[in-house]
Amino acid sequence: MRIPLSAPDISEAEIESVVRVLRGRQLSLGPALATFEKTVANYLGVPHAVALNSGTSALHLCVRGLEIREADEVILPSFTFIAVANAVRYERATPVFVDIEPRTLNLDANKIEAAITPRTRAIIAVHTFGVPAEMDAIIDIAQRHNLFVIEDACEAIGAEYHGQKVGSIGHAGALAFYPNKQITTGEGGMLITRNPALATRVEALRNHGRIADNPRHRELGYNYRISDINCALGIAQMGRIDEILARRAEVARKYDAQLRGLPELVLPPLELPGIEISWFVYLVRLADRFTEADRDRLVLALGHRGIATGKYFAPIHRQHVYRNFEIRHPLPITEQVSTRTLALPFFNRISDDEIAEVCQTLARSLQEVARS
């Protein structure tokens, strides 16, 4: 594609940071790991951050570290990346899907309590596309029902909910640093918590259940380590995170300005009360009169013109691997939204000319699809 859906922003500072590690003596479990963890913890205002090899690993260790087990239930949205539900299933617990609300596309707090049963142990609040979930309501429900709150902030580093960085609000949070994220380590993730016992346990779990340099392994663990090479890249990216997030917000505003007049589209909100969005993607929705087939034709039309787009998200409950799962609660908003979403090219170094080309091509393609 001439204009990709996403692209990492790597500067000379990142390259130099990685080269320093390569010229050193430790490529794993070394000083860059500790520095990266401390840098992210300080940025989020939390005492503990444990770096891992992926956001999926972070979600899994949130679940395992909080001792959520077989026969337990965890409430989460279906309109999100499949890793969230998979992390629950890794521990043989049961994902219970609850619908989203239509403006932010986050878990609808008003529908959570109807899904709580005596087996419910946790709520996973996903900050979808970098927009914080309604954490006050979610925390209130969790406290009244004695539930854990896990924050999936994999798409939302730097986002704020009433002055608090997301990932730092619940019992544990997960970040991800895949190349399409706001900052990247190539592959990588991080578990965030204020609980020192949980942090210590997760540090062991990521390294086969081994505590620090002790040769004994106290429990079944995993190889979820992240190399110092990846951490070095993350350290340099964190040094530019304010600049990166500001640039992504600027790109979102440029899209909004050029697409605002198209009646065929529902645009994402640029601002929400008490919320600081961390822009992961720029996602538009087709108006109600369009179908999933129309959206798919639009994807092909833009693709033929060299413009990549993304269909975020196919709901988890519609995935083949979840075909036998019981859907206990209706998911009308999830079903409606997921068939008409379209992510546009969105990355730090996208040019104004590329944004203009995407918008103009999208407008023409919408007219073509509407006539067909």
Beta carbons of 75 and 123 less than 8 angstroms apart: yes
E-only strand ranges, the chain? 48-52, 73-77, 94-98, 120-126, 148-152, 160-161, 164-165, 172-176, 189-193, 265-266, 275-276, 282-286, 341-344
**Radius of gyration of the chain, Cα coordinates, nearest whole angstrom:** 21
Active-site residue 38, yes or no? no
For residue 143, CA distances in Å to 16, 115, 123, 238, 268 come to 46, 15, 11, 33, 31
Beta carbons of 106 and 125 less than 8 angstroms apart: yes
Beta carbons of 222 and 199 less than 8 angstroms apart: no
Beta carbons of 45 and 160 less than 8 angstroms apart: no
> What is the residue whose two structure tokens read 């996403």?
6
Encode 32-45: b = buried (16+ Cβ within 10 Å), e = exposed. bbebbbebbbebbe
Whether omega for the bond prior to residue 313 falls within 30 degrees of 0, making it cis, is: yes
Candidates 165, 181, 254, 311; catalytic one = 181
Residues annotated as part of the active site = 181
